[in-house]
Each structure stands twice: as structure tokens, then as C-alpha cells.
Structure 1
């Protein structure tokens, strides 16, 4: 048996029983958006020495078996690996079992498509011993509504408007996260978190010392209700919306981690943010956005919102 990674059979079974959702309790993040993979295959017992929950007595042939794997979104993968005391092997096995018992089965054709892509495009993520799905030929499936007015067409328009309203709510709820990123350089953020410099402006994001603050803001903005609009918009439009939502949450989580670790955890260097952005933006654009030293988060979100408006037919794509 190969020990280089999970077999296609194990990947199929894992994804089929996931319901295409993160296994973390109450998380609704999808593991795949159309042909774009956004989830991560995590090891319950870490694959390498030093990785979370690594068991030196585990047989090498058992490390990549389905029994030792669980699907998570990038944020919850980081959470379980950063808090081994709370997320023990036993608890993760219970989480996995509970999730698979209640998940909606995934159609066989979707299982085959996503599993093959996942096995062919996995890569090691940081020090966690997890496997991250890369983008696989994202398809744009735009709803072609007829010119005549009809209930479905009107509902599609309403869905786009509702999602845009939620995006504006996200902008309001996470305005301070974007603000501090806009006016402070990464080195200045680093000086604040390691105690070398006191910056009063950072008081505006003190609430993000608690991860629950970001979760509460997501709910207040209407993020939980967004899934109701998914059947009425194109796959790409939904993917763009999901990525914008996730970037707000992920950047906030980086602040929480910065307070915890007493050093700046830069969202630009985060594999989860990188993976999300590459799902909907060209690689050259992602590289440019991450290279910006100031106003990077604002520019990134603006770029994503432009893509949303273009896909919705509310703005023309640039010919440049």
C-alpha cells in the first residue's frame, strides 16, 4: 500500500460521507464549489513528527487511511491544530462520526469528479500534516434568464440583490479589520503585537481577541441566510460570494491568532486565504494583491466585489 497520500477509494468515501460540508459542528462551509475545491483533508493523528496529535506508534500505512482523515474548511483546520488540548483524537473521531451520520449523501458523479481532482491536486499544508485541495478548472455556469418577466427571473434578480446586501453588511461589520490593514504596514502590525510599539488605533479591533466576535458579526450580517439564495444564482457568483465572506472571516481569525501568539499573523501568508483567492481570481492577480504592503485587504475585497458585479451582469469586464 502506498504511504504517499490517501488512496482514491478513501478520498471518495471521505467526501461522499461529508455531505460536501466542513465536519466542524455547525459549520456550513462547502468542501467544493462547483469545480473549485476549497476544503482541506486533515489528519486526525498528525502525519509527521511535530504535527498536531502525531502518534509515533501509528503504523505508516495507517496515516493516510480514511479512518485517520477528516474534512475541514481552512479556518477550522487551523483551529483544531492550534488547540490540541480541546481537539483530541477522541473528540475529532466523535465529531467526524456525528457529522457523517447527519450529512446529506453526495451524488456519485460529484464524488467521482471531486475525489479525482482532490487526489491529483493535494499538497502538504504548513506544519499541520493536512492536505489542501487546489483549484481545478473552475467553471462558470451563469443562469440564462429569458428576456420576458417571469417568477423565476424575478427570484434570480432578488437573490443577487440579497447577496449584495449581505456583502454590504459584511463591509460594515468588519470595517475596522479592513481599516487597520489599510493604514498600518505589516511591520507596524508586527511591532504592535510583539509589544515593541503601542498604537492606539489598534484599540478599534480589540474585540477580535475573541474568535466569537467574528462569528457573531457574520451572523449579524446575515451570512447564515445566504445559502437560501444559492439555488437562484450561478455557481461562479456563489463561489465569489463565499470567498468574500471567507476572506473577511479568515482575516479576522488572523487577528485573533495574532493576539494569542503575541506576534502578527499576516493574512497574506495564510494558505487558507491564498487557496480561497485563487479559486476565483487569476494567479497573477492574487500574487499582486498579496504583495501590497498597504491597503491590501481593501484592494483584495474590492477586486472580489468587482468579480461579483461582473458575474451578476452589473458591470462589464475589463478588456485590458
Structure 2
């Protein structure tokens, strides 16, 4: 067995036992859509020194064996790696055991289809050595210059893509509270907060969005006002994807502003503006999927959009969403 990472055989077995669902309790996020892997293969004991729950006494073979692996969506992979105290090895092993014992086994023919995607697209990402076909956990990207053309122009094009990616990273930080509450609370729970029926302390993180100017200020703080200077140096599609991501952050934040004004939760899932933005870049079945997620839908939408950005930038092989 190769020791540089999990074998395709082990990943296939994990997927077969997963029921095509994230192993995190109560999460219904799929691990694959059609023939595309969208979940992550996470290490229970970290893959490398410094990663969550790393055990130096573990052999490379043991580290990458399926017994040390668990399938999760990108959001919950981040959750378990960012909170080792709440998610020690023992708890994750129980989560894995319970999930696989209660999941509906994926048919062999479906596993075979996904295997093709696995072999073509899987790459190592994340601090714990997670594997994903569509998610990059990184603050910077590297774009390769074309083989032909003016060298200075190529350098400027590369710089433009990297500059836009950095703005997207800052937008993610500026609007993190918007994504955070959507990740941990159900729409009905958020509605109970806005109508005054229940008090959710974590909702205090979005109080700043009572100000209608908050979203505009955050886009400006992230560098969005200067993004147009990069537009001549990137493809039309790359610019469109960037614009949709920025606009979706702003639009979903505006929904919270409206929620404060109307004293009820205005869900981004039912907003025609958010729907149009998503459909401008993503396939219809992906848009419908993220809108059905009662938690983490916004995070999943951003993950898909960022994947499209990175694919268009040439940092990975293109694959169907």
C-alpha cells in the first residue's frame, strides 16, 4: 500500500460505507454529486506533524489506512480540526462507527462511477491532510504562465488572478459572521431570534448588519473597490465568477439587514437576487442542492464558486459540478 496518502481502494470503501453522506452527526451533506466528489476524506489522527490529533507513533501505513479516515463535508472537516478538545480521536472513532453502522451502503455501480472521479481529481488539502475534489483551504494560489506570449503580460495576468484571490480571502474574513450563523443555526432558529421569540447569543456577531451600509463598508475594506483594475488582465468568466462571489457576500448580508428591519428572518435561499447570482455560474442542480441545505448552505455555495474560480484560473483540472 502506498504510504504517501490514502489508497483509492480505501477511499472507495469509505465512500461505499458512507451512504453518500457526511459523517458529522445530523449533517446530510452529500459526499458526491453525480460523478463528482464534493466531500473530503479526513484523517482522524492527523496526516502530518502540526495537524489536528497527529500521533508521531503511528506508522505511515496506519496513518493513511481507512480505519484512520472519515468522510465529511468541507465545513465539518474544518469544525473538527479547529476544535481538538471537543473532537478528540476517541469521539471521532465513535462518530465514524455510528455513521457507518447506520448508513445505507452505496451500490457498487455508484462506487465505480465515483472511482473515476477520484482517480482523476483527488488532491491533498487542509491542515489534517484531507482529500477533496473541489475545496482548497489556502490563503494564496499559484498560477502558471502560458507557454507563449509576452512575458510581462503573462506576469501581469498572473498577478491579477492572485490579487483577485486575495480580495476573495479578505471578503471571506469580512463576511465570516454571515456564513457562521448560517452554518450553525437553522432558518427557523434564526427567525425565532429576529421575531424576538428566542435569544441566540451567537447572533450577536451579526448585529453590525443592522446598519445598511455595513456590507458596502466590508466590501470596500476587503479591497473590492479596486478590483476593477484587474479586470483587463483576466478572462471574462473569471471576472464574472469573482463578481458573483463578491455580490453574494453582499447580498446575503443585506438579507440580514432586511431581517432586522422586518423583524423576521429573510432567508437568502428564497431571495431571487441570490438565486440569479448562483445560477450565473453554477449548474442548476448544484444551486438547488445548496438551497436545500438547512445549515451550511451558504458555505457550500461559496465553496462551489471558489472552485469555479480556481478551475478557471488554471490551478486545477476542470470537472463537472
Alignment RMSD: 1.4
The Cα offsets for residues 158-202 of structure 1, whole Å up to 9 and x where unpaired, read as 000000000000001001110001000111011111111111000
1:44 match: none
Q: Which moved more, 1:210-219 or 1:252-261?
A: 210-219
How far did residue 297 of structure 1 move? Answer: 0.6
Give the unaligned 5+ runs of structure 1: 1-143
When residues 319 and 227 of structure 1 are mapped into structure 2, their CA distance, relative to the original with a 3 A threshold, is closer
Is the partner of 1:294 in helix, strand or coil?
Answer: coil
1:137 match: none
1:290 equivalenced with 2:285 (yes/no) = no
How far did residue 146 of structure 1 move? Answer: 4.0
1:231 equivalenced with 2:265 (yes/no) = no
When residues 210 and 319 of structure 1 are mapped into structure 2, their CA distance, relative to the original with a 3 A threshold, is closer
CA distance in 1 between partners of 2:149 and 2:277 (Å) = 36
> Do 1:146 and 1:153's aligned partners in 2 also have CA atoms closer than 8 Å?
no
CA distance in 1 between partners of 2:272 and 2:170 (Å) = 26
1:278 equivalenced with 2:279 (yes/no) = yes
The Cα offsets for residues 265-304 of structure 1, whole Å up to 9 and x where unpaired, read as 0000000000111111111111111111100111100100
The Cα offsets for residues 120-146 of structure 1, whole Å up to 9 and x where unpaired, read as xxxxxxxxxxxxxxxxxxxxxxxx944
Q: Runs in 1 of length 4+ with deviation above 4 angstroms?
A: none
CA distance in 2 between partners of 1:298 and 1:147 (Å) = 38
Is the partner of 2:199 in helix, strand or coil?
Answer: coil
The Cα offsets for residues 83-116 of structure 1, whole Å up to 9 and x where unpaired, read as xxxxxxxxxxxxxxxxxxxxxxxxxxxxxxxxxx
CA distance in 1 between partners of 2:192 and 2:173 (Å) = 27
When residues 198 and 319 of structure 1 are mapped into structure 2, their CA distance, relative to the original with a 3 A threshold, is closer
How far did residue 307 of structure 1 move? Answer: 0.2
How far did residue 317 of structure 1 move? Answer: 2.1
1:205 equivalenced with 2:203 (yes/no) = no
CA distance in 2 between partners of 1:319 and 1:274 (Å) = 20
CA distance in 2 between partners of 1:237 and 1:319 (Å) = 17
1:29-108 residue pairs with structure 2 within 5 A?
none
Is the partner of 1:317 in helix, strand or coil?
Answer: coil
1:214 match: 215
How far did residue 211 of structure 1 move? Answer: 1.3
The normalised TM-score by structure 2 is 0.54
CA distance in 1 between partners of 2:305 and 2:320 (Å) = 17
CA distance in 2 between partners of 1:187 and 1:218 (Å) = 28
CA distance in 2 between partners of 1:254 and 1:164 (Å) = 25
Task: Say how many residue pairs are matched.
Answer: 177
2:169 match: 168
The Cα offsets for residues 45-96 of structure 1, whole Å up to 9 and x where unpaired, read as xxxxxxxxxxxxxxxxxxxxxxxxxxxxxxxxxxxxxxxxxxxxxxxxxxxx
> Do 1:254 and 1:265's aligned partners in 2 also have CA atoms closer than 8 Å?
yes
2:8 match: none
> Do 1:170 and 1:218's aligned partners in 2 also have CA atoms closer than 8 Å?
yes
1:8 match: none
> Do 1:247 and 1:273's aligned partners in 2 also have CA atoms closer than 8 Å?
yes
How far did residue 214 of structure 1 move? Answer: 1.1
1:315 equivalenced with 2:316 (yes/no) = yes
The Cα offsets for residues 26-58 of structure 1, whole Å up to 9 and x where unpaired, read as xxxxxxxxxxxxxxxxxxxxxxxxxxxxxxxxx
The Cα offsets for residues 192-250 of structure 1, whole Å up to 9 and x where unpaired, read as 11111111000001000001111111100000000000010000000000000000000
Give the unaligned 5+ runs of structure 2: 1-144
2:306 match: 305
CA distance in 2 between partners of 1:200 and 1:159 (Å) = 40
